[in-house]
A and B are shown apart, each in its own frame.
Chain A
Amino acid sequence: MNQWLFIFISLILLGCSDVPPLKEDGPYRYKKPSFFPEYQIPEDNKPTVLRVELGRRLFFEKRLSNSNSTSCASCHVSSMAFTDGKSISHGAHGRMGNRNAPTLANLLWSPHLMSEGGVKTLELQALGPIQDSSEMDMTMRNAEAQLADDVYLQNLSQAAYGRPLDAYVMIRALAVYQRSFISGDTRFDKYHFFKDTTAFNAQEKRGYDIFFSEKAACASCHQLPFFTDYKFYNIGLYENYADAGRQRVTYTANDNGKFKTPTLRNIEMTPPYMHDGSIRTLEDVVEFYNWGGKSHPNKDARIQKMNWTPQEKADLIAFLKTLTDWNFLQNHNFLPLQ
């Protein structure tokens, strides 16, 4: 009799709760292409199934913004390679930010974040947009308070990190999730790394040759396999830069107007271009490099007039479009959980 009473009470208690049970936890392995180098992850933030899930939920969580209107995903849309198509992103209360939203592909290998490279880890980077008044405009204390009553997220936090959903957990979970944004499955990768000559047509092959030529020197900064060397250059976009770029971190005049080399993976899907979104199309970007940029004392010597023919420019653009990773753009793991 007592046995049945116990089961009955347990069933009632379970029935009262509408909080779904947590998934089974376990180590999570980032799936990297064979031609990407090994990666390192912080000792105190190893990926697990539940940490990735928590990060995913937080990435789409609008309650992390002051206006309940903006999440990380508002400016980083997976179908646009985690950009938003705007020159300058808009944050909470419609406020304008300062720069073009960067793609988030392959952050697992990025030695520093932000265009001027002032942030060393993805964990610390997450503190920026949440607290920036032109992005999500929250204090971390308010962010914690906003989610304090969400029983499922709190359970998830306890299971994933053994503590309530505080700032410590939020930035770690977001970092764990963003490290899963790996893009290395393109026609270029098939052609270049797997020697599949059928992956390119004749025009794309010509564009490939231009890109890797000594004259164009594109690949000297946009290095393989990530199409970036993560270094900082002035490309002569302006004679006077409103945004000082790398100089903001080093205080050195020689670094004025220098910005981190952006990856070209999925470049077709991430217009407009440059740190301020000032160039609207890929065609215009190629035209800019063909022209050679404006004069500036810090301009890199490799930025010179190219004198490409219309055919060469078209070939180069065709090549750049082979860097689109459709499996990455359509990955359902980069969409919100229901």
Chain B
Amino acid sequence: MKSLPRYILFLLASTIIFTSCKEDPKEETPSTNSDAPKVVFSLSPKYENADFAAGTVYFDSYGHRIRVDNFQSYISDITLHDDLGNDVVIKDIAMWNIGSDNTFTAEIPAGSYSSLSIGIGVPEDKNKDIDPTTYPNDHPLSVNGAQGMFWTWNTGYIFTKFEGKADFTGTEGASLLSPFAYHVGDDPFYRIVNLDFPFTIEAKQTIDIPVVVRVDQILNGGTSQVDVEVDYITHTSDNPTLAERIIDNFASSFSIE
């Protein structure tokens, strides 16, 4: 019994020594093969034919002056389709934000590819009634990673937010006082964009996939023209028709340069 305190002190000291000597855990990096073919996927915003510039006031097709303050969207299941009918998923889920660098690199098998598909939103199996607190904080579907793109009253992710302010006088220098906000989500509004992109890739090669989103086409798109003076808000449930027009316009705004 007399030796017990000495034994405990020894254990404590040993623990401290060994703990402090232990190497810091190295951050895990995905295994990479330097010879493997790679693709560099980028998603860049343009307004008409020029690069989109945050804070810039643009004219829409109705002659309204608009400024886009926030445009973010989940993109998912970004997949390359090869000539043999195989699919290669290069990204399962990501948060695209108009103000951020939206580029990533992925390794793919050598071969000939014909097209690319991109999901807009969160696929059904990851969307409704999923607990976002089960994801690690840096995951785009976590409570923090979602950056407010989550509905708590009808649990599921907001797929796309497109927000800004408008001036309907068309006068240069006039204040933009009228807000518009389009929040689109829920399973019926998930969209898959298919883009032709034929290429052949071999070992050690890197190919860029420069995808462009035409921001002007969100309001003046392939499917409908949205007047921000009339149709200025939807949270999907309050105006699902407008939500559909917005998401369809968004889906038609993708191209590869």
Contacts and interface: CB of A to CB of B under 8 A. Distances in A.
A125 to B, nearest CB: 8
Given A6-B5, A141-B144, A248-B154, A124 B240 contact: no
Nearest to A171: B133
A120 B156 CA distance: 11
A141 B8 CA distance: 39
Nearest to A168: B133
A206 B225 CA distance: 63
A166 B154 CA distance: 22
Contact of B152 (A3, A128, A244, A251): A128
A248 B144 CA distance: 25
B6 interface: yes
A123 to B, nearest CB: 6
Contacts, number: 71
Contacts of A120: 129, 155
Interface residues of B, number: 25
B134 interface: yes
B143 interface: yes
Contacts of B154: 114, 116, 118-119, 248-249
Interface string A234-250: 00000000001001110
Given A3-B2, A124-B129, A167-B143, A247 B237 contact: yes
B131 interface: yes
Contacts of A139: 144, 148
Interface in B94-140: 129, 131-134, 137
Given A167-B133, A244-B238, A251-B240, A119 B152 contact: yes
Contacts of B17: none
Interface string A134-169: 000001110000000000000000000000001110
Interface string A115-131: 01011110111011001
B152 A124 contact: yes
A116 B152 CA distance: 12
Contacts of A168: 133-134
Nearest to A130: B152
B133 A119 contact: no
B152 A127 contact: yes
A114 B143 contact: no
A7 B144 CA distance: 45
B9 interface: yes
Interface string A81-117: 0000000000000000000000000000000001010
A46 to B, nearest CB: 16
A132 interface: yes
Nearest to B152: A128
A2 interface: yes
Contacts of A124: 129, 131, 152, 155
Contacts of A116: 153-154
Given A118-B154, A119-B155, A141-B144, A166 B133 contact: yes
Nearest to A118: B154
A84 B171 CA distance: 50
B237 A248 contact: yes
28 contacts: A2-B5, A3-B2, A6-B5, A6-B9, A7-B5, A116-B154, A118-B151, A118-B154, A118-B155, A119-B155, A120-B155, A121-B131, A124-B129, A124-B155, A127-B143, A127-B152, A131-B152, A132-B152, A139-B144, A139-B148, A140-B144, A141-B144, A167-B133, A167-B144, A247-B237, A248-B154, A249-B237, A251-B237
Which 10 A-B pairs give the minimum distances between C-beta atoms? A118-B154, A128-B152, A6-B5, A168-B133, A248-B237, A140-B143, A167-B133, A127-B152, A251-B240, A120-B129
Given A116-B154, A249-B237, 17 more contacts: A3-B5, A6-B9, A116-B153, A118-B155, A119-B152, A119-B155, A124-B129, A125-B152, A127-B133, A127-B143, A167-B133, A167-B143, A167-B144, A171-B131, A244-B237, A251-B188, A251-B240
Interface of A: 2-3, 5-7, 114, 116, 118-121, 123-125, 127-128, 131-132, 139-141, 166-168, 171, 244, 247-249, 251
Interface of B: 2, 4-6, 8-9, 129, 131-134, 137, 143-144, 148, 150-155, 188, 237-238, 240
